[in-house]
Amino acid sequence: MLTFDRRNKILEYIAENGAAGVAELSNMLGASESTIRRDLSELSKTGKLDKVHGGAMLPSLEFINREDSINIKVQKNYEEKLAVAEYAASLINDSDYVFLDAGSTTFLMTRFISASKATFITNGIAQAQELIKNGCRVLVLGGELKDTTEAIVGSTAAKNLQKYNFSKAFIGANGITLKQGITTTDTSEAIIKAVAVEHSFSSFILADSSKFGKVSAVTAVPVDAACIICDKCPDEGVRKKTIVKEVKA
């Protein structure tokens, strides 16, 4: 077996099981334990796994318990987000009924949507304002306004959202992991994301590569509930579980 293939199988196995021992991998792949140790050392250098005594495990997850304002979020990994936003906007047809989630990457999508005949429903104040400037038809959900993200959230917004059926939904994320799924900082935003995905024919999670391996407090949807559009997906387990579209910044 080629080194590249063997290391990919190691990553796939650890992604599915969370961890693996050297002897376990040696028996599974028919390679010597010294070869497996070298593989784990090299993979650890790339950040794809954490090498521990006697084996390896998934990289340590980062827990996100706070959320920046949308103005700050837009500036983080700007080029990557912009590439993801441009590709996502290209998927919208004039006949579409679109849900646009509040978030920095969905906000950047509005730069690439001009005079579209599609109908847009959003819970993002900034998104609505930009779409109106671009000559688009926009419906805004009613509900509680969250100050940090300028998102309309809560039970009233979720109830309003249930009235609609979308051809496409574009959803932001604070974190993406195979086990915890697509996560966000609070229940009120998670409910909106979940309802939008449930009521959409096609759903897309927009994320730059920094979102992988991070976990926020509340799971909105599992990773296989939507296609993920990103600049790079470093998680082989996620890639195996759902459709991932990588776009170059």
For residue 37, what pLDDT is reported? Answer: 93
- Averaged pLDDT, 210-223: 90
Both 27 and 85 in one domain: the answer is: no
Mean pLDDT within 45-55: 81
Do 162 and 230 fall into the same domain?
A: yes
- The pLDDT value recorded for residue 152 is 95
Range of the domain at 160: 63-246
State the greatest distance between any 2 C-alpha atoms of the chain, in Å, as a whole number: 64
Can you give the pLDDT at residue 44? Answer: 86
Model pLDDT, residue 207: 95
Q: Are residues 84 and 7 in the same domain?
A: no
Residue 29 sits in the same domain as residue 75: no
For residues 50 and 171, membership in a common domain is answered with: no
pLDDT tens string 101-133: 998 999 999 999 998 999 999 999 999 999 999
Residue of 78 and 15 predicted with greater confidence? 78
Please state, for a pLDDT cut of 90, what percent of the chain lies above it: 65
Considering only CA atoms, which of 145, 142, 148, 166 is closest in space to residue 104? 148
* Residue 37, domain CATH: 1.10.10.10
Residues 156 and 238 in one domain: yes
Mean model confidence pLDDT for the chain:
90
Q: What's the Cα-to-Cα distance from 126 to each of 79, 117, 148, 189, rounded to whole Å?
A: 19, 20, 12, 16
DSSP result, 187-206? HHHHHHHHHHHHTEEEEEEE
- Residue 213's pLDDT is what? 85
CB distance 106 to 91 below 8 Å: no
pLDDT at residue 68 tops 70: no
Do residues 36 and 68 both lie within one domain? no
* Host H or E run for residue 17: helix 3-17
Question: What is the mean pLDDT of the segment spanning 34-47?
Answer: 89
Supply the CATH number for residue 83's domain. Answer: 3.40.50.1360
Res 177 pLDDT > 70: yes
Task: Compute the average pLDDT of residues 172-185.
Answer: 91
d(C-alpha 183, C-alpha 189), whole Å: 10
Supply the pLDDT for residue 63: 65
Q: Residue 60: pLDDT band by 50, 70, 90 thresholds?
A: low
Q: Please list, in sequence order, all residues whose beta carbon lies within 8 angstroms of the beta carbon of residue 16, skipping any fewer than 6 positions away.
A: 237, 240
Same domain assignment for residues 93 and 202: yes
Shared-domain flag, residues 78 and 186: yes
Query: In 152-248, where does DSSP find H-type helix?
Result: 155-161, 187-198, 236-241
Which of 37, 60, 83 lies at the terminal end of a domain, its last residue?
60
Question: Quick one: CA torsion of 120, 123, 126, 130, rounded to 10 degrees?
Answer: 10
pLDDT at 169: 98
Say whether pLDDT at 160 is over 90.
yes
